[in-house]
Amino acid sequence: MTHPRFLVLGANGQLGQRLTRRLGGLDLPVEVFAFTSSEVDIGQRSIVNEAIRSLRPDWVVNAAAFTAVDRCELEPDHAFRINALAVRWIVEAAAAVSGRVCNFSTDYVFDGHAAQPYREWDRVNPLGIYGRSKLGGEQELRAGFDLNIRTAWLMSASRGNIASTVVRLAREGAPLRFVGDQVGSPTVADDLSEAAVQLMLSSCTGCFHVVNGGVGSWYQVVQWILRLLGRDPGQVTEIEAISVADRYPAPRPSYSVLSTSSYVAATGRTTDDWHDALERIVRDLDHP
Ligand SMILES: NC(=O)C1=CN([C@@H]2O[C@H](COP(=O)(O)OP(=O)(O)OC[C@H]3O[C@@H](n4cnc5c(N)ncnc54)[C@H](O)[C@@H]3O)[C@@H](O)[C@H]2O)C=CC1
């Protein structure tokens, strides 16, 4: 009997690293192949084709993306090429070897005008190029065959991420200015990886929202990190809530909380509240 084969693209990214590690640590006989952006450039159709056709994976896990939201406005051609057209090439090559595609998308496909958590079937209306290009990628997937996981506000213990940045700034006593007027679903990349693996192992197809539970702003995330570090945010005068419009050129949805009820219905699992999930990361960062 052959073991399920997984091919991870964008394996050097925040999610790609976690997913590769999670797949490699499974208590099941699986084969995992992982390519970084320099090994397989998904923007090159022939390279994508060659990698997928030679390895014949059961699942191509696309963790590669152009995720710099503000740069997407300046480089729309590149954004559409990587976030949309490349997904078409991945799907074409996967189809040739009867493989499925697990793709990741974003809460930024929504405009933020909702008053309750977004479901998978809610009207999409991206505000900027990043969201539009990711929506383009979603549209390349095959109904009933591929898996599209919309997630949001990813955090991990990687360097440069919000958790490690706040820990560093707090230690240096540097001022902390974070957006307070945008709320969403902060999500830990390890938890998303676990859920994605579960969905693939249960042969789920279609669109699922997968995020940690609860609602927060980046300002609240930072307050929570400071509390976990034993610093009373009330005493930290340097922390300031700023407006998204003051910080970023590209528009962002002011409310992009995602409902995970489809994920719960499909797998019987729930995701942890983001406060608990973040606590695990900060504990690891604080005591490396
Ligand atoms: N970071 C976040 O807050 C959110 C991320 N997402 C989605 O989750 C997925 C993973 O995001 P992250 O890991 O956080 O992003 P990331 O930016 O950390 O990783 C993306 C990876 O793709 C690679 N990449 C870029 N262009 C490539 C190319 N032409 N060929 C191959 N690789 C290429 C980059 O080198 C990077 O390693 C993406 O689909 C993203 O759109 C969705 C919502 C929120």
Name the region of 48 (left: φ>0; alpha: ψ -120 to 50; beta: rest): alpha
Residues 280, 188: contact at Cβ < 8 Å? yes
Report the predicted TM-score, pTM, of the whole model to 2 decimal places.
0.96
Q: Whose CA is nearest to atom 30 of ligand 1?
A: 41
268-273 contact pairs (CB < 8 A, 24+) = 269/195, 269/198, 270/213, 271/187, 271/191, 271/195, 271/210, 271/211, 271/212, 271/213, 272/188, 272/191, 272/212, 272/213, 273/212, 273/213, 273/214
Residue 100 has pLDDT above 50, yes or no: yes
* Ligand 1 lined by 226 (C-beta under 6 Å): no
* Ligand 1 lined by 42 (C-beta under 6 Å): yes
What confidence score (pLDDT) does residue 287 get?
Answer: 55
What ipTM was predicted for this assembly? 0.99
Residue 117 has pLDDT above 50, yes or no: yes
Ligand 1 centroid distance, CA of 4 (Å): 24
Greater confidence, 35 or 170?
35
CA atoms within a 13 Å half-sphere pointing along the CA-CB vector of 112: 17
Greater confidence, 173 or 100?
100
Of 7, 9, 15, 212, the residue with max ligand 1 atoms within 8 A of its CB, to mutate for a pocket test, comes to 15
Cα–Cα dist 52/56, whole Å: 6
Q: What is the pLDDT of residues 35-77, one digit of tens each?
A: 999 999 999 999 999 999 999 999 999 999 999 999 999 999 9
What confidence score (pLDDT) does residue 229 get?
Answer: 83
Q: What is the pLDDT of residues 141-154, one digit of tens each?
A: 999 999 999 999 99
* Ligand 1 lined by 216 (C-beta under 6 Å): no
Ligand 1 centroid distance, CA of 237 (Å): 34
Of 101, 148, 154, 278, the residue with max ligand 1 atoms within 8 A of its CB, to mutate for a pocket test, comes to 154
The residue extents of the domains of the chain are: 5-153+188-212+257-272
Residue 236 has pLDDT above 80, yes or no: no
- Mean per-residue pLDDT, 157-186: 84
Of the candidates 35, 45, 48, which has an alpha carbon nearest to the alpha carbon of residue 6? 35
* Ligand 1 lined by 154 (C-beta under 6 Å): yes
Active site residue 130: yes
How far, in Å, are 161, 178, 242 from residue 166 at the CA level? 9, 10, 16
Mean pLDDT for all residues in the chain? 93
What confidence score (pLDDT) does residue 239 get?
Answer: 78
What confidence score (pLDDT) does residue 176 get?
Answer: 85
Of the candidates 130, 219, 255, 263, the residue annotated as catalytic is 130
Greater confidence, 90 or 162?
90
Q: Whose CA is nearest to atom 22 of ligand 1?
A: 64
Of 7, 14, 40, the residue with max ligand 1 atoms within 8 A of its CB, to mutate for a pocket test, comes to 14
Token look-up 């307070």 returns: 180
- The CATH homologous superfamily for domain 5-153+188-212+257-272 is NAD(P)-binding Rossmann-like Domain (3.40.50.720)
288 pLDDT tier (thresholds 50, 70, 90): very low
CA atoms within a 13 Å half-sphere pointing along the CA-CB vector of 257: 14
Which of 14-23, 232-241, 275-284 bottoms out in mean pLDDT, i.e. has the lowest? 232-241
- DSSP percent split of the chain into helix, strand, coil, nearest 5: 45, 20, 40
Greater confidence, 5 or 249?
5
- Mean per-residue pLDDT, 153-172: 82
* Ligand 1 lined by 66 (C-beta under 6 Å): yes
268 pLDDT tier (thresholds 50, 70, 90): very high
Q: What is the pLDDT of residues 193-215, one digit of tens each?
A: 999 999 999 999 999 999 999 99
CA atoms within a 13 Å half-sphere pointing along the CA-CB vector of 266: 21
Ligand 1 centroid distance, CA of 14 (Å): 7
